[in-house]
Structure 1
Amino acid sequence: MMQRNSRRHASRFLPLLLGALLLTACGEPAKPAQPREIAADTSCALDGMILRDFPGPKAQIHYDQGEPDFFCDTREMFSILLRPEQKKRVVAVYTQDMAKADWNDPQGQWIDAKSAFYVVGSPRRGSMGPTVPSFANEADARKFADQYGGKVLPFTQVTIDMVDLSGGASHDEKM
């Protein structure tokens, strides 16, 4: 008799226990990938160049699996993100706010690349020649464009034609 009551009692709580386990397993939603700082030996995912050896904005792409890819130039970031053959699931993209970062030695100042503003067509040089500087706000991007030239665009309006990497190493300043 006692054993039968225990089973009946346990069968009432089994659905509650399973529900609690499911909620625990799901937990809180995963926090978005946070930007990583560039180390002395951090190299570009495309060409192996050491990022700290070059001026201008850098970028990093985080995927749902594996380590993030780093890029010594925002043009490289765009060339990866805008390719139709890009198959990895991107969970975060960061670039640097060049209104706050030192152009010649940019460190930190990471911002969400998809909410940034970019200056396309400026002659200001990064690691791959003329680059596409990134800014956290439009006013800073416009100030840069007024000083150096170029057109201010949000992330969604930058096209693959604007960030063409043809010529590659021929544009490198220190190779």
Structure 2
Amino acid sequence: MHALLGAGILAVLTLLGGCGNDSRSTQALAPVEIDRSTSCSLDGMLLADYPGPKAQIIYVGKDKPAFFCDTMELINQLHSGEQVRAIQGAYVQDMGKADWNHPEGHWIDAKAAYYVVGSKRHGSMGPTFASFAQEADAASFVQEYGGKVMKFEEIKPGSADLSGGALHDSHM
């Protein structure tokens, strides 16, 4: 009798465990394209007004992403010790395909991207990490603009210096 009751409770708990599950919590949502009104979640800058790769994070339970006007902001956010919200997906633009001065589309997984660190090319906040889907595109970028190719996991916390662009931007 106790075994039957225990099996029944286990079956009910198993069924209840599926209630309220949001399949989005285990799958990354597709990145969202920016438009003329899309602003940075950190500083309110309009993304379309500035050059260089943009980024976005889709948090669990949120339908809209948090946008970043620069890849350094995203990497800083992902490496932040205060980052406790669950993430469904983090995306950057593939600058091997996107136009540097007017980047649109070409979103790739931020943690799978190749980054060029320390190049002469600037983004919206000054020095930036150029993001690429293909290592060969990143290497070509290095030949022209300098820097070093790194994978996401090779970028150390704290190396995304956010003190550059906003402090020296005469357009703001």
TM-score, scaled relative to structure 1? 0.82
> Per the alignment, do residues 87 and 145 of structure 1 end up closer, same or farther by CA in structure 2, a change over 3 Å counting?
same
Runs of at least 5 residues in structure 2 that lack an aligned partner in the other structure: 1-7
Query: How far apart, CA to CA, are the structure 1 residues paired with 2:87 and 2:61?
Result: 9
1:96 and 2:87 are equivalent in the alignment: no
CA positional deviation for 1:144:
0.3
> Per the alignment, do residues 121 and 167 of structure 1 end up closer, same or farther by CA in structure 2, a change over 3 Å counting?
closer
CA positional deviation for 1:22:
7.0
Query: How far apart, CA to CA, are the structure 2 residues paired with 1:148 and 1:162?
Result: 19
Amino acid at match of 2:61: Q
CA positional deviation for 1:23:
10
Aligned to 1:156, the other structure's residue is in SS state: helix
1:115 and 2:88 are equivalent in the alignment: no
Amino acid at match of 1:90: I
Query: How far apart, CA to CA, are the structure 1 residues paired with 2:41 and 2:22?
Result: 32
TM-score, scaled relative to structure 2? 0.83
Task: Considering fraction of residues, name the structure with more helix.
Answer: 1
Higher CA-based Rg: 1
CA contact (8 A) 2:127 2:165 kept: no
User: How many residues in Structure 1 have an aligned counterpart in Structure 2?
Assistant: 161
CA positional deviation for 1:90:
1.1
Query: How far apart, CA to CA, are the structure 1 residues paired with 2:137 and 2:19?
Result: 44
**Between the two proteins, what is the percent identity of the paired residues?**
54
Q: 1:68 aligns with which of 52, 65, 69?
A: 65
Amino acid at match of 1:158: I
Query: How far apart, CA to CA, are the structure 2 residues paired with 1:155 and 1:174?
Result: 30
CA deviation profile, 1:4-32 (whole Å, cap 9, x unmatched)? xxxxxxxxxx9xxx7xx779868995442
CA deviation profile, 1:83-136 (whole Å, cap 9, x unmatched)? 111111111000000010000000000000110000000120110001110000
CA positional deviation for 1:171:
3.6
Q: 1:141 aligns with which of 118, 138, 142?
A: 138
